[in-house]
Structure 1
Amino acid sequence: MTLLWDADPGAAERYDFAVGEISRFETQATMVRALEDNPTEMLVLIGPDVDMDAACQFAELCRVERPELGVILLRRRIDVAVLGQSLRAGIREVITSDDVTGLADAARRSRDLSTRVHGHSGESTSAKTARVVTVFSAKGGVGKTTFATNLSAYLASTGSRVLLIDLDLAFGDVGISLQMLPQNSIIDLVSMAGNIDEQAIKAVVTKHDSGLEAISAPAEPSDADRVPGTTVAELVRVAKRHYDYVLLDTPPAFTSHVLAAFDDSDLLILIATLDIPAVKNLRLTLDTLDLLGNKKDSRLVVLNRSDAKVGLRPEDVVAAIKQDIAVMVPNSTAVPASVNRGVPIILDEPKHAVSVALRDLADRFIRVADTPAGAADAAASSQQSPKTSRWSLSRGGNR
């Protein structure tokens, strides 16, 4: 079967003679869902009236997420500009919409190439895949970076290979929180887009004493806009093949980079604190994730500074968000003190109440797939509820 992105109700009948059975979808969103439901599909047609920029953006994402998938673009008129833009986006062929014979030949060539690409990639299907964890809150200052650095350091201390990526591209603090002096950052990967591999990642990581490897945010906030979401998606996809865990620290906003992280995450750690703005933003975050089609069972709500005496109780948070709190981490001045020393509290003071809570979070919800039973449970869960991919374009205290 071939998938067709075209708003014209008669389009499928017009092209089925050339490519066989067609399923037509009117929007990019419905097309993406169809591809998620058909992981073996090898060919997509994009109709002549679909916006050129949208078509190319879709093709770029397909090239990252499904390299074996062929995309053929139909246009009413073909010129050098259209061909050049299509080539850069990874579209395999551009055919005039009235050339049925040309479309049939292009479809055959594309399917042959897809079969070869799929066969080649199938040789490494037994390769390991890292567990990807994103730490997020739509409010700043709730402890995202503290959680990301401590969890990463703890996982690395168990002998696992861990990559921590700072996606707060304008004001990331991973490097300074761990007192590292990165020579390179994620901005150095932009020029390698489409060709990121293990060596490229090694060239930009900074190693911490705990054993974790980190990719820092750019030194200049103005560079944040130069990192496209597709580069983040490619980085995560490649890193999954070479690490045991990939953790993503994020800014307090739904940027294209954050959406790319959500798409490929096995677990979302959503952090809140006992204040009305944080709880409100958490509620909005959960609603937004529902709209994006994110699986509810991939989310983990964590309450930081849970014993703070500020007139709001954990049960009030549960009532507001209509979801249980998985882990409660107590408040302590030892946390900002450990950040100032550049030493994760989970390693520096392992018996501290905050360390115990963070370790419990890691052992119960992140490392669960390390055990044979956990791996079996994870496999069963993935079969019952396949991982959704939206194919994104998709301070202070315990930060």
Structure 2
Amino acid sequence: MSNVLRLALVDPNDSTRETVKAMLLGLETVWLEADCSRYEFFPDIVDQTSPDVGVVNLDSDQNKAIDLISRLSRSSPDTVILAASESNDGQLILTAIRSGAREFLTLPLSEEELASALQRVSQQKFGSAERGGRGSEIIAVAGATGGVGTTSVAVNLGCVLAEDPKNSVALVDLDLALGDADVFLDAIPDYTLADVVQNISRLDIQLLKKSLTKHSSGLYLLPRPVELRDTEVIDPESLRKVMGLMKASFSHLIVDLSKTYSPIDMVAIESASRVILVTQLDLPCLRNVVRLMMSFDETEGLQDKVEIVVNRAGLDSGQISLKKAKETLGREIFALLPNDYRTMIEVRNNGVPLVTQAPKAAITQAYREMAHKIVEPPQSTEAVDGDEAAGANESGWKRFWPVKSAKA
């Protein structure tokens, strides 16, 4: 998981401000919360948005800028201040640091220099990943076919993660035509994904959260558009911007995909740090898992993000055995969710998540175990020997997806 820094920038010079903004927008670990062209307005912006980092360009008026840094270091101690200037005068650098700036950046900046400085700030502010610093994880929930329960998995996993007060969790419904995450939560949202996309250029983190529907479990929901025609405003680029803002706002962002694996879905899959692929233990589902994994193999690193989750395990309808499924897929199963038809029908019809409807049920405990594996991954996992895994994988895939032999 990567730490996302929320950043505010003040620079009265339009040219240098736009240059730094463009550079910041190219960094995945940074969300530009606000930019300002007046030194005197910047304290109010910092007070309202509480950014992690404030960048102050000194060059338009060094005295005003130094006074601003000194004021911010007293009034907003949780905001790390970076001073920037085209001058490398030692006295100016010393004055800025003594006034409260954490680092001094010499303009014009290179992207590497800026990224390095922000990485140091992130490590100092949140701690390293090994020490458990604040992280933001995007979890894309996909299905091997329709009807395997991807929305149920996305909603109930989100509610379980939101039980922990240390987590802030949001769910985006990307089934733009037929999504029903709002039904699972018995929610009547005021705003949808289409509304957020159309106003993304004017949104900050506070306005974004006001645009979401908060469930009593603590889970925030951004539902699919109400009208089918509204889906047209959502394109890959706009979705990337929405996910960037939400990634800066929440510790966990869950994305419930459609079953079409459209360009919109693929944006979420490629942006995700983890892809949960929901399947059942039957031939059509496992065949589709093989097909999808073959497609994912075309994108570097994508297969490594995929976790297989078996839903409705234990059906008395001649399911393929778990052992045979693992041999066929050539990989471990991340989580097993037991079949509990009666409870799940009640949950859906009542619009109440499992943590509320059946907190002690076996299926609810299975979701808690899956959430624990996501938040606290095991230090070591038993892995099959590389050659053995490759052989099992090859034989399994060929059994489900035969390849015509080449003619001699």
TM-score after normalising by structure 2: 0.60
1:332 equivalent among 333, 340, 362: 340
1:269 aligns with 2:276: yes
In structure 2, what residue type is equivalent to 1:308?
Answer: L
Deviations 1:70-102 (A, max 9, x none): xxxxxxxxxxxxxxxxxxxxxxxxxxxxxxxxx
Question: Percent same amino acid among aligned pairs?
Answer: 25
> SS of 2:297's equivalent?
helix
In structure 1, what residue type is equivalent to 2:152?
Answer: T
1:178·1:344 contact (CA, 8 Å) conserved in 2? yes
Deviation at 1:187, TM superposition (A): 0.2
Q: What is the distance in 1 between the residues matched to 2:28 and 2:141?
A: 28
1:198 aligns with 2:205: yes
| Corresponding residue number in structure 2 for 1:112 | 108
Deviation at 1:221, TM superposition (A): 2.5
Segments of structure 1 that go 5 or more residues without pairing to the other structure are: 1-60, 69-110, 378-399
In structure 2, what residue type is equivalent to 1:291?
Answer: E
| Corresponding residue number in structure 2 for 1:391 | none
In structure 2, what residue type is equivalent to 1:317?
Answer: A
1:218 aligns with 2:225: yes
1:302 equivalent among 292, 295, 309: 309
CA separation of 1:303 and 1:62: change in aligned 2, threshold 3 A: farther
Q: Number of paired residues?
A: 270
Deviation at 1:346, TM superposition (A): 3.0
In structure 1, what residue type is equivalent to 2:277?
Answer: L
Q: What is the distance in 2 between the residues matched to 1:317 and 1:284?
A: 14
Higher-Rg member (1/2): 2
1:154·1:347 contact (CA, 8 Å) conserved in 2? no
1:368 aligns with 2:376: yes
1:322 aligns with 2:330: yes
> SS of 1:291's equivalent?
coil
Q: What is the distance in 2 between the residues matched to 1:62 and 1:322?
A: 42
1:138·1:282 contact (CA, 8 Å) conserved in 2? yes
Segments of structure 2 that go 5 or more residues without pairing to the other structure are: 1-21, 30-106, 127-133, 381-408
User: Which fold has the larger relative contact order, with Cα–Cα distance below 8 Å and residues 6 or more apart in sequence?
Assistant: 1
> SS of 2:249's equivalent?
coil
| Corresponding residue number in structure 2 for 1:208 | 215
Deviation at 1:296, TM superposition (A): 3.5
| Corresponding residue number in structure 2 for 1:180 | 187
Q: What is the distance in 1 between the residues matched to 2:26 and 2:283?
A: 38
Q: What is the distance in 2 between the residues matched to 1:335 and 1:294?
A: 34
TM-score after normalising by structure 1: 0.61
Q: What is the distance in 2 between the residues matched to 1:303 and 1:322?
A: 15
CA separation of 1:307 and 1:228: change in aligned 2, threshold 3 A: same
Deviation at 1:171, TM superposition (A): 1.1
CA separation of 1:357 and 1:207: change in aligned 2, threshold 3 A: same
> SS of 1:234's equivalent?
helix
| Corresponding residue number in structure 2 for 1:144 | 150
1:196·1:235 contact (CA, 8 Å) conserved in 2? no
Deviation at 1:274, TM superposition (A): 2.4
CA separation of 1:62 and 1:232: change in aligned 2, threshold 3 A: farther
Deviation at 1:197, TM superposition (A): 2.8
